[in-house]
Amino acid sequence: MMSKMLYHYTSSFGLSGILNAGYIAVFNNALENNSGVVWLTSSSEPENHGLKYYDDMPAEFDKTTIRLSVPHKPTFENWDAWSVKKGMNKALKQILIETAGAEETYQTWYISENEIPLSDVIKIENIKTGETIDIEKAKKSLPLAHDLPEPKIADTDRYILNQPSNIQVLLLEVRQAIREALPDAVEKISWQMPTFWKRRNLIHFAAQKNHLGIYPGAAAIEYFAPKLTGYKTSKGAVQFPYKSFGKEQLKLISEIAAWCGMENTDNG
């Protein structure tokens, strides 16, 4: 049964932009063609939709704060079916779902390929306070988008967010796998790449045009050579093509990262 009401979640910063523009804008959709969509859901709760990158996100940028209610239109499509129609890579689609923690909620997702005018929004609520926001009053009281400070995000987050949407979800998955393998390492940017460091650089990763680059150093490449015969390698790097990236490659990257951590302990 088709939902009669859909919801778009955003932050107070995002709402300010919507009110000033007069519409909900389209953004990249995690497909390789990077066309824009508005994300919607039939779920009246914001959890498990990948709306927060981390728990201590500043309140004004927390996209679980504001809920906009929009009546369902025939032009709105269920994301699951739409992504199949558009030819979204199945592996990347699964990574996006898992990264968002949305295994039980992704089927509630909808998209609009067109911006949604503010006149179509019938209700705006602050979920945290329970307040219903009057649009005209909010226009006058909310700060302009350019008056709000830039969100303070870690360098690695910024690196990932600067990549195409379909690559972002893959990088988030790789980052999490390495983080679990190296729980005591510090994340930073080194040699313009996301890096895990503990007394020295342990492992880097980077998004290249057609592949994910993993840079664990020459000793690791030599040690794992039997498992890397199907990949292009150099003295200290291995290339994982995007088109064949999956759980097998993620597991191997985790093993390489863990080995780098043990070597650092042994040599420390």
DSSP string, the chain: ---SEEEEEE-HHHHHHHHHHTEEPPEE-SSTT--EEEEEES-SS-TTSS--SSTT--GGG-TTSEEEEEE--TT-EEHHHHHHHTT--HHHHHHHHHHTT-TTTGGGEEEESS-EEGGG--EEEETTTTEEPPHHHHHHHSPPGGGSPPP---HHHHHHHTS-HHHHHHHHHHHHHHHHH-TTPEEEEETTEEEEESSSEEEEEEE-SSEEEEE--HHHHHHTGGG-TTSEE-SS-EEEEGGG-SHHHHHHHHHHHHHHHHHHHHH-
Q: What is the pLDDT of residue 209?
A: 83
Q: What is the pLDDT of residue 152?
A: 47
**The whole model's pTM is what?**
0.57
Fold (CATH) for 155-267: Aspartate Aminotransferase, domain 1 (3.90.1150)
Question: What mean pLDDT do residues 191-205 have?
Answer: 91
Question: What mean pLDDT do residues 169-187 have?
Answer: 90
The mean pLDDT value of the chain amounts to 83
- Given a cut of 70, whether residue 72 has pLDDT beyond it is yes
Question: What mean pLDDT do residues 171-195 have?
Answer: 90
CB-facing half-sphere around the CA of 207: CA atoms within 13 A = 18
147 vs 129, higher pLDDT: 129
Question: What mean pLDDT do residues 224-253 have?
Answer: 92
Q: What is the pLDDT of residue 99?
A: 63
User: In CATH, which of 1.10.287, 3.20.170, 1.10.3470, 3.90.75 is domain 5-147?
Assistant: 3.20.170
- Given a cut of 60, whether residue 208 has pLDDT beyond it is yes
pLDDT over 90 percentage in the chain: 44
- Given a cut of 80, whether residue 34 has pLDDT beyond it is no
Question: What mean pLDDT do residues 18-37 have?
Answer: 69
- Given a cut of 50, whether residue 157 has pLDDT beyond it is yes
- Given a cut of 50, whether residue 31 has pLDDT beyond it is no
- CA trace torsion 95, 98, 101, 104 (10° rounding): 120
Where in the chain do CATH 3.20.170 domains reside? 5-147
Question: What mean pLDDT do residues 201-212 have?
Answer: 91
Confidence category of residue 92, pLDDT binned at 50, 70, 90: low
Question: What mean pLDDT do residues 232-241 have?
Answer: 91
- Given a cut of 80, whether residue 171 has pLDDT beyond it is yes
69 vs 90, higher pLDDT: 69
- Given a cut of 80, whether residue 238 has pLDDT beyond it is yes
Show the tokens assigned to 226.
């039997």
Confidence category of residue 81, pLDDT binned at 50, 70, 90: very high
Where in the chain do CATH 3.90.1150.200 domains reside? 155-267
Q: What is the pLDDT of residue 216?
A: 94
Contact between residue 142 and residue 15 where contact means Cβ atoms under 8 Å apart: yes
Q: What is the pLDDT of residue 67?
A: 96
- Given a cut of 60, whether residue 76 has pLDDT beyond it is yes
30 vs 66, higher pLDDT: 66
